[in-house]
Amino acid sequence: MKTATLVRVAVQSILKNKLRAFLTMLGIVIGVGAVIIMVGVGYGAQSSIEKQISGLGTNMVMITPGESRQGGVSMGSGSFNRLRIGDYDKLKREAYLVSGVSPVISTWTQAIGGQGNWRTSVNGVSTDYQAIRDLNFAYGTWFTENDVRAMRKVTVLGATVAKNLYPDTDPVGEQIQLRNVPFTIIGVLQSKGQVMGMDFDDVVLMPYTTARSRLSGWSRLNFIVASTFSPSDIPAAQDEIRLIMREAHDIGQFEEDDFTIRNQDELASAAQSATQIMTMLLAAIASISLLVGGIGIMNIMLVSVTERTREIGIRMAIGARGSDVLTQFLIESVVMSVMGGLIGLAIGIFGGMIIGWVTGWNTATPPQAIVLAVGFSAAIGIFFGWYPARQAAALNPIQALRYE
């Protein structure tokens, strides 16, 4: 039989049992749909993280306490934290390749003012922080070196804090209570958006000197951020920072660093490898339903071969070869699984679009995923259709004709 005829015959016999064919396909539909959604979401999450990390600042280098670990980004793990203001001072004084450097002292507190109260993160930083993080202002201005030296109780609100406490107004000049200490608002930041699920707008900034004396009271820094003059300076700057830090911490020649220096690319790739692992995990779980779908196809094809034993006998009697029968049943299972795969693909793309619309991610389905989904479902059709088709082809025509 010609292939076109075989495909037509297969489609015809699938259409003779529409409901069953649909239920059989459902497994593949769900499997492919789930995989496509997972891959699309992972892809979207990745590209949005990429975009946001590049928006975090310019030529940024981050020094975190604790030795470097593979995979995760450690931010402020307390046990090894030996970052001190002294480290910051030394970097400020000695690092030539660094255009700006700022300590970050971070704590959570209740902010009271304007419309009520709001629990937020308070970060004590230096004046360099604005340039490092590329902060822009909606209202007011940044604090000055004088404010730092005098430990003035001035504060700059992140967009989220301002939106919640002072909606649609300019709060510059207002008082805000942080841990029962009144601060004067001198500025409000423009929105930076979310990175890795963290809201970088849900923050209150102030001079690190003020934060240390008024709020946190301890001498440890959560981390230090620095920036270089140009992207090409970053590797050299990282080396320079490392030497200075090792000296500051009095680390011997054969001892490990007790801090970690990462640049923006490294931060991005750490976050990306985390999402990549997550995506693969989700896709792996989703592909289990593909396997289940394949088993469903095999089951129905076996039933179908038994039910159609007489049909097989008739076809053989009028000249069908074993290979014709094999191909017929194989094409039937492939057509079913590919149709299921295409429906699943449509659902997956559509589902990904909805998720993208809800989360604001760019959940574009990569074209490889489409090819893969169709190819994979065809492979499942062949793999799980093979055994039933072999059973059909191996039938003895006389016995098949006698089958009741």
Q: Closest Cα to residue 296, out of 394, 390, 383, 393? A: 383
The binding track of 385-404 with respect to other proteins, each residue x by CB under 8 A or -, is ------------xx--x---
Output the six-digit token pair for 76: 């402020």
Q: Angle at the Cα of 279 (from 275 to 280), degrees rounded to 5?
A: 120
Q: Total binding residues for other proteins by CB under 8 A?
A: 23
322 binds other proteins (CB under 8 A): yes
Cβ contacts of 141 within 8 Å, gap of 6 or more: 186, 187
Question: Greatest CA span in the chain, whole angstroms?
Answer: 103
How many CB atoms lie under 10 A from the CB of residue 250?
7
Half-sphere exposure of 56 (CA within 13 A, CB side): 24
Footprint of other proteins on residues 5-34 (CB under 8 A)?
Answer: 5, 12, 16
How does DSSP assign 347-365, residue by residue?
Answer: HHHHHHHHHHHHH----PP
Name the minimum Å distance from CB 302 to other proteins: 17
Output the six-digit token pair for 292: 């289940």
Q: At 169, which amino acid appears?
A: T
Distance CA 366, CA 384 (A): 27
Name the minimum Å distance from CB 308 to other proteins: 8
Are the beta carbons of 174 and 167 closer than 8 angstroms? no
Footprint of other proteins on residues 282-321 (CB under 8 A)?
Answer: 307, 310-311, 313-321
Output the six-digit token pair for 384: 């799980």
Rg of the chain over Cα atoms, rounded to whole angstroms, equals: 32
| Contact residues for other proteins, defined by CB under 8 A | 1-2, 5, 12, 16, 307, 310-311, 313-324, 397-398, 401
